[in-house]
Amino acid sequence: TRWFDRKPIYAELSPVTDFKEASCRQYELGECMRSGFCNFMHIKTISQDVKKRLRGRRKRSRSRSPSPSKKQRRH
């Protein structure tokens, strides 16, 4: 629990149905002055290199199927 002025802060979550609408336009333009106090998402872009590496990991992890354990092999 977070506290402010000796009182607990109760967070209220709201569902996001459209990420484009939930992102901060001012942040995208480099103009958001609210930073951590902004109620919209500040989405950081990642480089193409990072995207490629993440896609490669996902493909490798999906292609590997776990081998059956010793207990499952016994008949």
Q: What is the largest CA-CA distance in the chain?
A: 67
pLDDT above 70 for 74: no
CB 41 within 8 A of CB 25: no
Q: Write the pLDDT tens digit of every residue in 49-60.
A: 999 998 887 666
pTM, 2 dp? 0.48
Q: Write the pLDDT tens digit of every residue in 3-18.
A: 999 999 998 888 889 9
CB 21 within 8 A of CB 43: no
Question: Which stretch of DSSP H or E encloses residue 3?
Answer: strand 2-4
Average pLDDT over residues 64-69: 57
Average pLDDT, rounded, for the chain: 82
The residue count for the chain: 75
* H-helix segments, 14-69: 19-22, 25-28, 48-63
